[in-house]
Amino acid sequence: MAQVTLTDVNKIYPARDRVVHAVKDLNMTVEDGEFVAVLGPSGCGKTSTLRMIVGLESISSGTIAFDGKPVNTLTPEQRNVAMAFETYALYPNFTVAENLGFPLEVRGLAKADRDREVLRIAKLLRIESILDQKPGQLSGGQQQRVSLGRALIREPAAFILDEVMSHLDAHLKFQMLFELKRIHRSVGKTTIYVTHDQVEALALADRVAVMSNSLLQQYGTRDELYHRPANRFVADFIGEPPTNFFAAEIAEEAGTLALKINGSSLAFQPDEQRMAALRRQPVPQAIVGIRPQNLSLTPVAGAPSVTARLILNEYLGEQSIVTMEAGGTSFRALASPDFRPATGAPVTLYYRSSDVMVFDPNTEAFIG
Amino acid sequence: MAKLELDGICKGYDRPILDRLSLTVEEGEFFVIVGPSGIGKTTLLRCVAGLEVLDAGRVIFGGKDVTRVPPYRRNAAMTFESYALYPHMTVFENIASPLRARKVDKATIEKSVTDVARLLRIEQLLDRRPHEVSGGQKQRTALGRTLVAKPDVFLLDEPISHLDAKIRHELRRQFHTLQELRRVATVYVTHDYAEALSLGDRIGVMGNGGLVQIGSAREVFERPNNIFVARHLGQPSINEVACSISDSGGQITLQSASGNFVFAAGGAQRGLLQKAKGDVLVGIRPQHVRVANGAATGQIAEAKVEAFEALGATGVLIAEVGGIALTVLTSPEDDYEPGQPIRLALDVDQFLYFDPAQGNNLQTKAA
């Protein structure tokens, strides 16, 4: 078990004609026993970060420490970090039990002790019934569990998972998310999970580090990322369907502020706290962000609303996604699957003014 | 412009993949095939394109039998999951390639490519090569190449499943609005049920050997003809509980085969279950069971929390009811402790009933 600290970490790859700065001044701490996801689109620097923690990649500058002790010069073996990959990397000629027991055998553990450990891990992962089978006979989900089990059995200082679910199909993924959370809870080991999928990151992690363009954009809990995103990028990357954004003019009328959406008759009303922040803005413009989940078709007494024309109603079984258009701007909201309006019909959407997010039009930083 | 007909097509390797599959996709129809991976969805598309030789059956474009016509003369355009762009060509040249192969004149090519690129919002990328653009842009380039060819039949194989959520939603919308797609017969393959429900004028759910059900999004989701269909659409998966039916003077009670989960059938389904007698497989979607608050009316089951996880946008609760585990959806803001007693409100009118042997829906079978 370990606390993992990254201090001013940089990764620079010298290339022939230019220098690639893959990770810039990264500072973050993963607490002992914490489950942290590193999330970002491809090329954001998350894999380089992970490889530096494990020791597969040198650290260009800065320090990575486990429990306060720098590990920069230690080999991957000395760091005692277990890693599971997207590809399961199981030995095809070994049974599941042999695959699981292999790291212990290498360490010279006696057979009886190995067998006991293998059984303990197999029970934890609910794979006791397939211990005698070979990887070729297993489903993708089972192989993934064996691969996790082999990493777990080593009793590592930290547990690193790299895109381990990206090619499981949706049903299996859902099951595995549930299982992985349960396993983490019972093992209680420091876990760093790298993914490009925000659903996985939010589902699993205590805290999520969102990276983009080699920089850590925000490091926080699901609630913080969701309600107080550091900038437009985070607001856009977290949540599905994606957040609606509008370019808006800040207009003052009778002591209250309204955010008038450019090119349309729509206006959003921010709450008091945001109004105060908006009054401090040097320019009368802002970017408005509102999540599709926060636009409701059900009238809410006293709630502000916007009305727009429905252009698309996507029925998805458990819910529908409706797309509206007003003055050349389009945006989405979630609806009940029973909602069946005609395309082109005007639709009124209610929202809470506290769900109206505002961003600086130049820096795209969160204003409130 | 043409409709597409598949007449009893058979194709197998070491086992049959497509077994006497027949299907008509009308001119202008967007038909989506959804099913688990490895079930034969791509094989079906390849058969239509002519990339596979059929074991039996016929492929007909616009009334003309093309079964023995080679792929390049079929006028079907196919996009692949892997994009299959020419790496040494620019985006422009990639999109133009089918027209160049047909020796279309330069001015027409220029205009067609620019039009399609504008439509797909990649006009600023025309001079770049595939390795210089993002995954979503590569996908749009591949799509542009299919659109520009003006084929009779569009075949799209998982065109957006590997893309980020944001681009996926944008492209889904474009699929809805592209008139070019809405003028021909399109067959679209995906493993993602939400994508299928969103896009398909009709949806074919594929199982072993062929299409288990064909219908509108609401039909396949709300009235699945077989437990296989119900199982594949929806997430978390539908709960399946084997029950026995008992009839006491018109009151139909269902009791789980293992354990002791008991409930009364909804009014609409009473007659059906009266006739069914014996055993039945009950399908309960997670959203049709709610954690009841004090004021809840209707059928209530006493339960215990087995496990609860907040998974991002939803909370997933596994409840133990009379020895049966039921998956229930809740708000992620909720918090439950294992062992905690809860009450579940059962929306019994929404429950689905299947015969335990074949898995057929008793309601759709009766209808």
The residue of A315, A336, A340 whose CB has the most chain B CBs within 10 angstroms, and thus the best one to mutate to test that interface, is: A315
Q: How many whole angstroms separate alpha carbon B160 and alpha carbon B139?
A: 7
Most trustworthy range by pLDDT among A13-22, B68-77, B236-245, B285-294: B236-245
Q: A57-66, A268-277, B158-167, B314-323: which range is least confident on average? A: B158-167
Predicted local confidence at residue A235, as pLDDT: 96
> Where does the pLDDT of residue A20 fall: very low under 50, low under 70, confident under 90, or very high at 90 and above?
confident
> Where does the pLDDT of residue B54 fall: very low under 50, low under 70, confident under 90, or very high at 90 and above?
very high
Asked if pLDDT for residue A185 goes beyond 90, the answer is no
The one-letter code for the residue type at A163 is: E
Asked if pLDDT for residue B366 goes beyond 60, the answer is no
Predicted local confidence at residue B341, as pLDDT: 95
CATH fold label, A4-237? Rossmann fold (3.40.50)
Q: What is the mean pLDDT of residues A287-299?
A: 94
Chain B residues whose beta carbon lies within 8 Å of the beta carbon of residue A178: 307, 309, 311, 316
Q: Using one digit for the tens of pLDDT, what is the confidence trace for B112-146?
A: 999 889 878 889 999 999 988 877 788 889 988 98
Asked if pLDDT for residue A311 goes beyond 90, the answer is yes
Predicted local confidence at residue B365, as pLDDT: 64
Q: Which 8-state DSSP code applies to residue A107?
A: T
The one-letter code for the residue type at A164 is: V
> Where does the pLDDT of residue B271 fall: very low under 50, low under 70, confident under 90, or very high at 90 and above?
confident
Q: Where are the domains of chain B?
A: 4-232, 239-366
> Where does the pLDDT of residue A1 fall: very low under 50, low under 70, confident under 90, or very high at 90 and above?
low
> How far does chain A reach from its first CA to its final CA, in angstroms?
38
Query: Do residues A232 and A238 touch, judged by C-beta distance below 8 A?
Result: no
Q: Using one digit for the tens of pLDDT, what is the confidence trace for B328-353?
A: 999 888 889 999 999 999 999 999 99
**Chain-centre distance of CA B56, in angstroms?**
26
* Residue among B223, B222, B221, B203 at smallest CA distance from B211: B203
Asked if pLDDT for residue B1 goes beyond 70, the answer is no
Q: What residue in A sits closest to B165 (Cα-Cα)? A: A240
Contacts of B345 (CB under 8 A, 6+ apart): B289, B290, B291, B292, B296, B298, B299, B300
Q: Using one digit for the tens of pLDDT, what is the confidence trace for B163-202?
A: 778 888 888 888 888 877 778 899 999 989 999 999 999 9
Query: Do residues B136 and A41 touch, judged by C-beta distance below 8 A?
Result: no
Q: Which of A198, A241, A317 sits opposite B197 (nearest CB)?
A: A317
Contacts of A200 (CB under 8 A, 6+ apart): A37, A165, A173, A177, A193
Q: Which of B177, B194, B312 sits opposite A317 (nearest CB)?
A: B194
Q: What residue in B sits closest to A313 (Cα-Cα)? A: B198
Q: What is chain A's length?
A: 368
ipTM of the complex: 0.87
Q: What is the CATH number of domain B4-232?
A: 3.40.50.300
The one-letter code for the residue type at B236 is: P
Q: How many whole angstroms separate alpha carbon A218 and alpha carbon A230?
A: 6
Q: Where are the domains of chain A?
A: 4-237, 244-359
Query: Do residues B209 and B18 touch, judged by C-beta distance below 8 A?
Result: yes
Token pair of A133, please? 């089978």
Question: Angle at Cα A347 formed by Cα A341 and Cα A348, nearest 5°?
Answer: 140
Contacts of A188 (CB under 8 A, 6+ apart): A1, A33
Three-state secondary structure string covering B50-82: CCCCCCEEEEEECCEECCCCCHHHCCEEEECCC
Separation in Å, CA B201 to CA A86, B35, B217: 35, 17, 8
Chain A residues whose beta carbon lies within 8 Å of the beta carbon of residue B193: 170, 317
Q: How many whole angstroms separate alpha carbon A179 and alpha carbon A160?
A: 16
Buried b (16+ CB within 10 A) or exposed e, B278-293: eebbbbbbbbbbbbbe
A86 in reach of chain B (CB within 8 A): no
A244-359: what CATH class?
A: mainly beta
Contacts of B205 (CB under 8 A, 6+ apart): B34, B35, B211, B212, B213, B214, B220, B224, B228, B229, B232, B233
Query: Do residues B92 and B148 touch, judged by C-beta distance below 8 A?
Result: no
Predicted local confidence at residue B344, as pLDDT: 95
Query: Do residues A9 and A52 touch, judged by C-beta distance below 8 A?
Result: yes
How many C-beta atoms surround the C-beta of residue B88 within 10 A? 9
Burial of B356 (0-12, 13-18, 19+ CB in 10 A): middle
Q: Which 8-state DSSP code applies to residue B237?
A: P
Q: Which of B135, B169, B193 sits opposite A241 (nearest CB)?
A: B169
The one-letter code for the residue type at B252 is: I
Of A201 and A155, the one with more pLDDT: A201
User: Do A4-237 and A244-359 come out as alike in CATH topology?
Assistant: no
Q: Decide if A169 and B221 are in contact by the 8 Å CB cutoff.
A: no
Predicted local confidence at residue A153, as pLDDT: 85
Query: Do residues A59 and A215 touch, judged by C-beta distance below 8 A?
Result: no
> Where does the pLDDT of residue A212 fall: very low under 50, low under 70, confident under 90, or very high at 90 and above?
very high
Q: How many whole angstroms separate alpha carbon B19 and alpha carbon A186?
A: 47
Edge-to-edge order in the sheet of strand B153-157: B76-79, B153-157, B185-190, B30-34, B202-207, B210-215
In three-state secondary structure terms, B302 is: strand
Q: Which 8-state DSSP code applies to residue B183?
A: T
Predicted local confidence at residue A86, as pLDDT: 67
Token pair of A246, please? 């509008």
Q: Which of B36, B166, B310 sits opposite A236 (nearest CB)?
A: B166
Enumerate residues 35 to 54 of chain A having a beta carbon within 8 A of any beta carbon in chain B. 41-42
> Where does the pLDDT of residue B150 fall: very low under 50, low under 70, confident under 90, or very high at 90 and above?
confident
Q: What is the CATH number of domain B239-366?
A: 2.40.50.140
Q: What is chain B's length?
A: 367
User: For all residues of chain A together, what is the average pLDDT?
Assistant: 90
Q: Using one digit for the tens of pLDDT, what is the confidence trace for A22-61?
A: 999 999 999 999 999 999 987 889 989 999 999 999 999 9
Token pair of A264, please? 């349309």
Q: How many whole angstroms separate alpha carbon B310 and alpha carbon B323?
A: 23
B312 in reach of chain A (CB within 8 A): yes
Asked if pLDDT for residue A360 goes beyond 80, the answer is yes
- What residue has token string 């493993």? B191
Token pair of B191, please? 């493993």
Distance from CA of A201 to the nearest CA of B (A): 8
Greatest Cα pair distance, chain A, in angstroms, is 81
Q: Using one digit for the tens of pLDDT, what is the confidence trace for A141-174?
A: 788 888 888 888 877 889 898 888 876 777 778 8
Q: What is the mean pLDDT of residues A289-304?
A: 92
In three-state secondary structure terms, B88 is: coil
Q: Which 8-state DSSP code applies to residue B277?
A: -
Query: Do residues B354 and B227 touch, judged by C-beta distance below 8 A?
Result: yes
What is the per-residue DSSP string for B187-199? EEEES-HHHHHHH
Q: How many whole angstroms separate alpha carbon B313 and alpha carbon A238?
A: 11
Q: Decide if A203 and B198 are in contact by the 8 Å CB cutoff.
A: no
| A305-315 and A320-326 strand pairing | antiparallel
Please give the share of chain B, as a percent, with pLDDT higher than 90: 61
Q: Decide if B135 and A42 are in contact by the 8 Å CB cutoff.
A: yes
Q: Decide if A317 and B221 are in contact by the 8 Å CB cutoff.
A: yes
A174 in reach of chain B (CB within 8 A): yes
* Residue among A158, A211, A188 at smallest CA distance from A28: A211
Predicted local confidence at residue A103, as pLDDT: 86
The one-letter code for the residue type at A326 is: A
Q: How many whole angstroms separate alpha carbon A5 and alpha carbon B155?
A: 50
Token pair of B46, please? 């390849």
Q: Decide if A323 and B173 are in contact by the 8 Å CB cutoff.
A: yes
User: For all residues of chain B together, what is the average pLDDT?
Assistant: 90
Predicted local confidence at residue B8, as pLDDT: 96
Predicted local confidence at residue A178, as pLDDT: 83
Please give the share of chain B, as a percent, with pLDDT higher than 70: 99
Predicted local confidence at residue A59, as pLDDT: 96
User: Which residues share a beta bridge with A158?
Assistant: A81
Q: What is the mean pLDDT of residues B19-38?
A: 93
Predicted local confidence at residue A303, as pLDDT: 92
How many C-beta atoms surround the C-beta of residue B7 within 10 A? 16
